[in-house]
Chain A
Amino acid sequence: MDTMSLLMQGFSVALTPESIMFAVIGAILGTLIGALPGLGPANGVAILIPLAFSLGLSPTSSLILLTSVYAGAMYGGRISSILLNIPGDEPAMMTCLDGYPMALKGKAAEALAISAIASFIGSLIATIGLVILAPILAKFALKFGPAEYFALFALAFATLGGITGKNQFKTLMAAAIGLMIATVGIDISTGVQRFTYNTLELFEGVDFIIAIVGLFAISELLFFLERHAGDGLKQVAINKLKLTPKDIIKVLPASFRGAVLGFVAGVLPGAGASLGSFISYTLEKRVSDKDGTFGKGDPRGVAAPEAGNNGAASGALVPMLTLGVPGSGTTAVLLAMLISLNISPGPMLFQQNADLVWGVIAAMFVGNLVLLLLNIPMVGIFVKLLSIPPKYLMPVVTLIASVGIYSVSHSALDLYFMVGFGVLGYIFRKIDIPLVPIILGMLLGPEMEKSLRHALVLSDGDWMALFNSGLSIGLWSVAVLGLVLPVIVGPIVRAKMRKSKEAVKDV
């Protein structure tokens, strides 16, 4: 019955002036964040969480704001791919392949417009997919007991490195470190102090928002300094837009195929947006590249990966909302937002907070439309902002991040912690320890331990209870596959991605 009526209810939340305002603000901020090289979506959303938090926004408004930022960042990533040949974030990499050559041919405006339309189609189809799939998955997830949840959390960590993960042991290590940080504080079920060393500030544990901002934003600043990247990069000039309806119709099939593939990649654990855009591009090349124009500025080569990565971005929200298990860095950060608003994601979310979930889903439709409208006529403004050199921008962004952290509890100590995490993040990145599993460990730690406890208490201490049902065995096998498969497939996929990237440089 109710998916439609719930969605309609959602629209009644999303179409209030307040929600529309937040969707518009989020869309603009998100596009900016996505467009600036080095300030990826996870980073941007992380900086905005404490702000939304200390402003005392309602859960619905903050989520609408941040999901629009998330969607906007996916749109923004393409701007620097096309104009600078530098992806704003990893999934936008495939957009460089045909986007930059198009820009070199003096068709930058067309490439931007086509990619905006493809992004719109990608998000639209994936959001429809989300509407259909999420309630089904949520209902299914109600069958999960504590043992299945424990297996699911293990699966989330095992697949986080993704098919393209480099060193699985480093992913495991990062996850363990994150989970360890999560154990600091008073144990929720026994009241025993763990690793607090009687320091009052540690009783409540380490705040993951501080860790996120430190690990992502501050370490990024340090990297910018080290690379002397303060001056920014030369960008291709933008021309006057000449787009006929015929051009749009020509890229529609590519966009649809990309959107569907991207959505599937986004939903599946461990695939994520990078793989989504990669698969979309390769398939499109196989299907439509009859005259060998791909990689030389074919509009379809811009549309397919762009639809793919936006589709994957919305698809990634499915496991995050229904299971409470995010599949990517940015969705992990969105999960942090939910937890700090005291909303536990997972199947119960769809029953207890139906208003909020459907409001947010409806807001994604609205935000997406706003983004399309925003991105075609106003792309020039974003391009101008993109040319502000990082040497002015990064310090100000750092300042805003610190202000956000400071205003949560008005304590300088939080800022010391933030800087400390920044230094840690810098070191981890140097050693190639992925940061996302650390964050995810901090977020999921308490829940994971709780489900382990429940499972073992129910079975009276029998550890085999963790592998007792067909469902949990299934989850464990996917987890093991997720750890082992990248060792075999990873090098092949990575080599392919690199090869197609290099091929373009020669053009």
Chain B
Amino acid sequence: MRINDRVFGMLMLILAVVYGWEATKFPIPFGGHESVGPETFPIMLSLILGISSIYLIVRPDPDEKWAPVAMLIELSVVVLSMLAFAWAIEPLGFMPAAALVVSFLSWRMGASIAKSLITGVTSSVVIFFLFNNVLELALPLGLLEF
């Protein structure tokens, strides 16, 4: 199967066209036209990307196997958990958020629940104190703030 490269090539071709099109519509900078405007370099790039995308569509490499659907879902859950961590770091505080996400990741990588909880809690507490007290980079306390 040689689907990956074809699909990706098409996506990149669309990107190249849209990007190049947008570049031609930049406002003319103050002081009038020069030989090289803000659009010259982007237009060159869109040509390069366009040409290589077409090559990819015409002569794709063999596919690398994608993970089965179940694994892709699992990976998405992991990605979501990291996004949730980014969101929670301020309202919840660094330690609870980090403990949760590290335990979750470690559990998903195959550690037992007890061991992953230990990893999560110790690493988040150690890193928090290392950063706050030794390296003096303030991390948010969040819920633990009195």
Q: A residues within 8 Å of B by Cβ?
A: 54-55, 166-167, 169-170, 172-173, 175-177, 179-180, 183, 187, 190-192, 194-195, 218, 221-222, 224-226, 228, 230-231, 389-392, 394-396, 398-400, 402-403, 406-407, 412, 415-416, 418-419, 422-423, 426, 430-433, 448-449, 452-453, 456-457, 460-461
Contact = CB atoms under 8 A, between A and B. Distances in A.
A457 B115 CA distance: 64
User: Is the contact region of chain B dominated by helix, strand, or loop, or is it mixed?
Assistant: helix
B26 A192 contact: yes
Contacts of B79: 222, 419, 422-423
B109 A390 contact: yes
B10 interface: no
A403 B75 CA distance: 21
B144 interface: no
Contact of B108 (A175, A225, A453, A461): A225
B86 to A, nearest CB: 3
A406 B89 contact: yes
Contacts of A228: 110
A395 B124 CA distance: 11
Interface of B: 4-5, 8, 12, 16, 19, 22-23, 26-27, 29-31, 34-38, 40-42, 45-46, 48-49, 52-53, 55-56, 61, 64, 66-67, 71, 74-75, 78-79, 82-83, 85-87, 89-90, 94, 98, 101-103, 105-106, 108-111, 115-116, 119-120, 123-124, 127, 131, 135, 137, 139
A452 to B, nearest CB: 6
B29 A415 contact: no
A422 to B, nearest CB: 7
Most chain A beta-carbon contacts within 10 A, residue among B48, B82, B110, B123: B82
A391 B41 contact: no
Contacts of A191: 29-30
Given A173-B12, A407-B131, A431 B74 contact: no
B34 to A, nearest CB: 7
Contact of A412 (B38, B89, B115): B89
A183 B111 contact: no
Contact of B123 (A183, A190, A399, A426): A399
Contacts of A433: 8
Most chain A beta-carbon contacts within 10 A, residue among B36, B46, B55: B36
Given A172-B48, A176-B52, A183-B41, A395 B35 contact: no
